[in-house]
Every structure is written in structure tokens, then in C-alpha cells.
Amino acid sequence: MATANHNLSQYDKNTIPNAKLFRFGIVVSEWNATITDGLYQGAYEALIDCGALPENIVKWEVPGSFELIYGCKRMIKHQVDAVIAIGSVIQGETKHFDFVCEGVTQGIKDLNVTTETPVIFCVLTDNNLQQSIDRSGGKHGNKGTEAAIAAIKMADLRRNK
């Protein structure tokens, strides 16, 4: 397991560009809201901690993880420097999990290939609820925090490289 014994919330602010001049979009799935709310909090707090201004962080909600693709596509049109897609898909008894995970992954990848705005994949695809809890503010920290740091670095790459 990639996150075993690793806290996702640890970062060194000295190695991260100041986010003050960047504008961020965060698209959050309402499905598994306890998890996605925790991921959003981690992302928002990390962006603020790294200098982003609250008025430069735009949050939209979509019904589920599959709808993140469309929400992110629309968010890109609002002239943001990076978008964070936040979702949570937990394994169930059917193949629905596989189809949703594959579709969301490919959709976010397609946005990164076809647009100039980086879209950060912050979709948990866990086997059970406890794994999701552990990665959305639990014992492994917060994957939302990690996504925010990636968004800052990619916004900087987009604008300055």
C-alpha cells in the first residue's frame, strides 16, 4: 500500500511556490460527502497556508465522482490556474466501482492532455470506508492536502515555465 506509514499532509513550505497570485478551482463530489468534505478541507487549508487568497479559491459541487469530469471541464473556463477534482469511490459488491474509477481516471487524464489547465486527481478509490477515512484526515493524513500542493506546483509550472 503506497500510503502505509506515510502522512499525506506533510510538506515543506520552503519548497512550494507562493500561491498568492494563483486562482484555484476545486470541484467536489457530493457522494461520500463525509470523505470528500474532509478532502476539501485539507486542500483548502493547504492552499491558504501556502498563500492563496480565499477569494481566489472557487468551489463547485457535483453529484458524484463521475460528474467531476464535466465539472472540471466547466471550471477550466473560469480562468483558473489549476483545478482539483475531489471524489471518493468505495468498492461495493458490483463492477460499478471499476467503471466509475476507470471513467473518472481517463476523463481527468483527457482534460490534462487536451487543455492548458492542470487538473489534479484527488479521487480516493478505496476498498472500504476505513481506508477512505484514513486518507481524508485520518491516520495517513489528508490526500486533499497533497492535491493542493500538486495544484500549486502545477499552476506555477503552467504560468512560469
SS3 135: helix
C-alpha closest to that of 142 among 16, 6, 1, 20: 6
How far apart are alpha carbons 25 and 79 in whole angstroms?
9
Stretch (H or E) spanning 106 = helix 96-114
| Catalytic pick among 6, 78, 96, 140 | 96
141-142 and 136-138 strand pairing: antiparallel
**96 among known catalytic residues:** yes
**Backbone conformation region of residue 103, classed left if phi is above 0, alpha if psi is from -120 to 50, else beta:** alpha
Active centre residues (catalytic): 96
